[in-house]
């Protein structure tokens, strides 16, 4: 059974901007899929429609066998716990400690009051420390997030997502604000999570070489439409030019040869 099925999704902002047009994608359990495409192609919109931060104008979203296109309220919260999200700008609560931010991953599972006042159970705390250890953040647990480096912040973001015990992790340009070394560490962690914990990963990336290196499957998105969907190995130069709507010699990746 696929973890995620997007059926003919379209999204139009303010009745003018067609961010997505008739996008259909199926993601199987355990896959590591990267979406590439130029800025403004609709990558972020696509990811956000999966956890309903953005409501698609048309089409259906089937997550884990359930049609979630129109779920609301409590049910929407429950559905959202199944998808962890990682952001380009980490989106942590900077004034809170690392451990508190990680525990935020439990909010969707908790009652409104105990979540609001930050009452977590012992087992939740244990799990949070276990995840922090796994991501090499044990020493940072009680630091405030604004004291961390970018790479560390993103690891807190990953920890928060893992705390949800998600089926699927959505990453919106997870390494776009990081230096090459931190980028590699983050990508290695994501890849490791995918392999050892069998969590499906759907990423937006704008570095084609990174996408090819880490993912089995790549989806090319151009002006709101899927222009490529297949194995990473089969993505040739010609396809890349087509996805980015450019000609030979214009892309920064061309400079290597």
Ligand X SMILES: Nc1ncnc2c1ncn2[C@@H]1O[C@H](COP(=O)(O)OP(=O)(O)O)[C@@H](O)[C@H]1O
Q: Binding residues for other proteins, how many (CB under 8 A)? A: 36
User: Could you tell me if 160 and 101 are in contact, meaning their C-beta atoms sit under 8 angstroms apart?
Assistant: yes
CA-closest candidate to residue 235, choices 210, 202, 198: 210
Q: Output 38 or 115, the one with its CB closest to ligand X.
A: 38
Given the rule CB under 6 A, which of 41-49, 57-65, 72-80, 207-215 is the region that contacts ligand X? 41-49
44 belongs to the binding site for ligand X (CB under 6 A): yes
Residues 55-94 as x/- pattern, contact with other proteins by CB under 8 A: ----------------------xxxxx-xxx-x-xxxxxx
Looking at residues 108 to 137 of the shown chain, list those that interact with other proteins (rule: CB under 8 A). 108-110, 112-113, 115-118
Given the rule CB under 6 A, which of 14-22, 26-34, 183-191, 247-255 is the region that contacts ligand X? 14-22
52 belongs to the binding site for ligand X (CB under 6 A): no
45 belongs to the binding site for ligand X (CB under 6 A): yes
CA of 85: how far to CAs of 134, 142, 165, in Å?
18, 23, 12
178 belongs to the binding site for other proteins (CB under 8 A): no
Which stretches of the chain bind Mg ion, using CB under 5 A?
44
Which stretches of the chain bind ligand X, using CB under 6 A?
13-14, 17, 19, 37, 39-45
Which stretches of the chain bind other proteins, using CB under 8 A?
51, 53, 77-81, 83-85, 87, 89-96, 100, 104-105, 107-110, 112-113, 115-118, 157, 160-161, 164
């Amino acid at each position: 059974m696929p973890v995620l099925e997007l059926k003919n999704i379209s999204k139009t902002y303010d009745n003018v901007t067609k961010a997505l047009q008739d996008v259909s994608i199926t993601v199987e359990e355990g896959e590591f899929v990267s979406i590439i495409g130029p800025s403004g192609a609709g990558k972020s919109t696509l990811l956000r429609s999966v956890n309903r931060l953005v409501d698609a104008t048309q089409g259906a979203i089937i997550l884990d066998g359930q049609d979630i296109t129109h779920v609301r309220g409590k049910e929407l919260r429950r559905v959202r716990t199944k998808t962890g999200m990682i952001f380009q700008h980490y989106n942590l609560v900077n004034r809170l400690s690392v451990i508190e931010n990680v525990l935020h991953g439990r909010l969707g599972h908790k009652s409104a009051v105990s979540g609001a006042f930050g009452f977590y159970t012992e087992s939740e705390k244990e799990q949070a420390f276990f995840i922090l250890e796994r991501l090499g953040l044990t020493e940072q647990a009680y630091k405030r997030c604004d004291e961390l480096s970018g790479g560390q912040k993103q690891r807190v973001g990953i920890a928060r997502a893992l705390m949800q015990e998600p089926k699927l992790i959505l990453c919106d340009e997870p390494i776009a604000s990081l230096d090459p070394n931190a980028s590699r560490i983050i990508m290695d962690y994501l890849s490791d999570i995918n392999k050892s914990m069998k969590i499906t990963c759907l990423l937006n990336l704008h570095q084609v070489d990174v996408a090819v290196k880490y993912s089995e499957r790549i989806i090319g998105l151009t002006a709101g439409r899927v222009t490529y969907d297949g194995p990473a190995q089969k993505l040739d130069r010609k396809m890349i030019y087509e996805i980015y709507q450019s000609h030979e010699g214009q892309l920064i990746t061309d400079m290597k040869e």
